[in-house]
Amino acid sequence: MNQEMNPRTVGAAPAGAQDRESASRAVREMFTSIAPRYDLLNHVLSFNIDRLWWWRTARKFKAILQRPGARVLDLCCGTGDMAFALRRRAGSESARILGADFSHAMLQRAAEKGRDTALRPLQWIEADALRLPFPDGHFNLVTSAFGFRNLADYDAGLREIARVLAPGGECGILDFGEPGGLIGQCYRVYFKKVLPAVGTVISGVRGPYAYLPASVERFPSPDEMLGRMRQAGFHEASWTPYTFGVAGLYRGVKSV
């Protein structure tokens, strides 16, 4: 397995971003601009398969979620769909689940959606994934669904996840991939041509849906991502492809 790091790929690089701070600012502005229609677009553009991806990811961590007193952080939580999937899997158990995002508009949508559920209320906090306001070793599980890819520094993000995880704690990063073969060819046509056009029409904003395929193309390959995870202090690092590799779950355990 090739674990060589690509020194040129530090993190997300939206058009016009000159450094880490401007990249973070551009990403925040993009997601704030599409927050009102974010959920609709996710479901329409993924043909509702995104719901299956969240469900499968939450199922992977059932043992932690149903552990009384477990602390769980959903990072880059957006409008909360991954956090809600975790809560449903935890059921009536006492796991404490917190969603964090640096877009206030996204968190407002998450809070609104949370009022419509009979499940135990979730907590939401506005925070930068690269500078989390939590003590070392605080969480038993950290997840991130389709948000990690947008960090301005992937390695710094992994180190911060490792910092806030307790020894033996787990992380799960669900994000897009690039499938191969004929499926991959069809997927790339849809992802680079159809999805940006439909997303722009529905949202009324062009930037985010032109940025999306570029961000996926820029994101490290599974082999490289697993190498980065090991460097950050995770063992048992693995990648499980979902839907022919259109998405996949990176999973790791913090070294004791």
Residue-level pLDDT at 1: 39
> Bigger pLDDT: 125 or 25?
125
Compute the distance between CA of residue 140 and CA of residue 64 in angstroms, rounded to an integer.
7
Report pLDDT digits (tens) over 56-105: 999 999 999 999 899 999 999 999 999 999 999 998 667 899 999 999 99
| Residue 104 neighbours by CB distance under 10 Å | 12
Compute the distance between CA of residue 185 and CA of residue 136 in angstroms, rounded to an integer.
43
Residue-level pLDDT at 8: 56
DSSP letter assigned to residue 117: -
Residue 5, pLDDT > 60, answer no
> Bigger pLDDT: 118 or 148?
148
| Burial (CB count within 10 angstroms: exposed 0-12, middle 13-18, buried 19+), residue 74 | buried
Provide the residue ranges of all domains of the chain, joining segments of one domain with +: 20-254
Residue-level pLDDT at 152: 94
Compute the distance between CA of residue 242 and CA of residue 95 in angstroms, rounded to an integer.
26
78 touches 31 (CB < 8 A): yes
| Residue 124 neighbours by CB distance under 10 Å | 21
Residue-level pLDDT at 93: 67
Over residues 118-131, the mean pLDDT reads 88
Compute the distance between CA of residue 178 and CA of residue 176 in angstroms, rounded to an integer.
7
User: Who contacts 221 (Cβ-Cβ below 8 Å, separation ≥6)?
Assistant: none
Q: Whole-prediction pTM value?
A: 0.91
Partners of 41 in the β-ladder: none
- Domain 20-254 sits in which CATH superfamily? Vaccinia Virus protein VP39 (3.40.50.150)
CA separation (Å) from 142 to 4, 63, 175, 221?
25, 14, 14, 21
Residue-level pLDDT at 118: 62
pLDDT > 70 fraction of the chain, expressed in percent and rounded: 94
Residue-level pLDDT at 230: 97
209 touches 196 (CB < 8 A): yes
Q: Which single residue is written with the structure tokens 């930037």?
A: 207
Over residues 141-166, the mean pLDDT reads 97
Compute the distance between CA of residue 87 and CA of residue 22 in angstroms, rounded to an integer.
34
User: Who contacts 231 (Cβ-Cβ below 8 Å, separation ≥6)?
Assistant: 5, 155, 158
Q: In what order do the strands lie in the sheet with 234-242?
A: 123-126, 96-101, 71-75, 139-145, 165-176, 247-254, 234-242
